[in-house]
Amino acid sequence: MFTEELEVIVQLNNAKSCTSPVSQCKMRLILACFALFAVPAIAINEKLKEVFHWNYVDYAWEKPGDREAAIASGEFIPANNLPLGLEVWKDKLFITIPRWRDGVVATLTYVKINGHMHDGHMMMHHLDHDHNDTQPSMSSSMSPALIPYPSFEENRVSLNSSSDAKPIVSVFRVWADNCDRLWVMDTGVADILGNTKVHSAPRILIYDLNTDKLLKTYEFKDTDTEQHSFFANIIVDSDPHKCENAFAYVPDLGGYGLISYNLAEDKSRRIKHNYFHFDPLAGNMVVGGVNFQWTDGVFSVALGKSMPDGYRTAYFHCLASTKEFSVNTRVLKNGDSSKDSYYDFQLVGDRGADSQSSASYIHEGTGVMFYTQLQKNSVNCWNTNKPLVQENLAEVASDNETMIFTNDLKVDREGKLWVLTDKLPVFIYRGLDEKEINYRIFSATVEEAIAGTSCAP
């Protein structure tokens, strides 16, 4: 990009020293100025490759006529289906579709990655679909139909279902651990932006990814929740050699707490701290031309590498904040030691103005944290082996057209970064134009993403 800028500066100098007729000199100067202002739009996102995109999402229906019947009954309202969270396990790219409004067919889905990856590079054609991928309106390999996981039936919430029905209700984010299990945080609440319906208590669902069978369901206790609790994320701390000893950390963005779930003991407890509250000076945001005010507290937790004692550093932040905090997972895991642990929570640093973030993830091999920046439509990085100061923060990619609201990101086991963008504020407050591409998924290797930045080791 710097080469293009230099060339434009040369053009400007040549235009200023022009010896041709006045009209020609003016034209050269105008063209040179236009080129200069056009330069920032060049190569804003050189690193992340677009793998999938959708104007609107559709599903891999089980049989002909199902789509039309679902639309007629109100079970499927395409405009109400917004991808929000993602996760990758082997050839499956999981995509969550929260039930913001009625008309969401499946809240937990996936697509196949095959055909888009070859020797670590993205392929933009010939996606290999499952036999269920037959929906003609989503025939493009870049816009595949979403396959409900583990099935249509287990995602089906009837418009008139009672609280006794226990399908997967509404999921914002999921986590595939290193024991081949998918951890699903089900809020239990549907039609969040409309006539809110509570179908179940908030609960954790754990699936065996090799068999797609449900292994475990854990409902939060009354003492785990507050009046305004809302659970939109789940982070799993597991050891592949001791899978039964896993912990899940579930931020409560509305109740300003964090739930720690112990799988071995099948118990949960609520952790409170002042650092879990939003910053009142960071709740005003502008994204995609929409001005809004949010009060979301603790939202994202990123786990550092396991230390010799088996614990990790957990980095966390609130969505309505620009500050990053940390705590040793010993405090999150051990109930007794956390009673007087206020000072175990530390302020790590401040990312700077307009750096509100919805997601973060640490690549263990490099210690690099990738994080979203919502107001900047970007993905950034920070090497956690260095202090969190401005000179150690770097932009990986940004784009004010294709990366509006970088909602979620993950790094898979192969060392690939995945990013989902979805224009969420526009969806909530204005509505999306189905003639435009609204949802995108990008990817790059970690090495490609941090090359030439301060995040590189």
Tens digits of residue pLDDT in 379-408: 999 999 999 999 999 999 999 999 999 999
Q: Hey, which residues does 398 pair with through a beta bridge?
A: 378
Average pLDDT of the residues in 219-248: 98
Tens of pLDDT, residue by residue over 168-211, are 999 999 999 999 999 999 999 999 999 999 999 999 999 999 99
pLDDT reading at 61 higher than 90: yes
Nearest to 106 by CA among 134, 78, 131: 78
Per-chain mean pLDDT for the chain: 88
Q: Report CA torsion sign: 445, 412, 50, 192.
A: negative
Q: Count of CB atoms within 10 A of residue 246's CB? A: 20
Tally the residues of the chain. Answer: 457
Task: State the pLDDT at residue 44.
Answer: 72
In this predicted model, what pLDDT tens digit does every residue of 331-354 receive, in sequence order?
999 975 456 689 999 999 999 999
Q: How far apart are CA 395 and CA 251, in angstroms?
A: 26
The pair of three-digit structure tokens given for residue 5, joined into one six-digit string:
């800028």
Tokens of 368: 């690099």
Global pTM value:
0.86
Task: Measure the N-to-C terminal CA separation of the chain; round to a whole number of Å.
Answer: 23
CA atoms within 13 A on the CB side of 63: 0
CA 236-237-241 angle, 5° bins? 120
What is the Rg, in whole angstroms, of the alpha carbon atoms belonging to the chain? Answer: 23
**Strand 108-112 versus strand 92-96 pairing type:** antiparallel
| Packing angle of the helix pair 2-16, 22-38 (nearest 10 deg) | 160
d(CA 170, CA 156): 11
Comparing CA positions, the residue from 343, 346, 348 lying closest to residue 387 is: 348
Asked if residue 139 has pLDDT above 80, the reply is: no
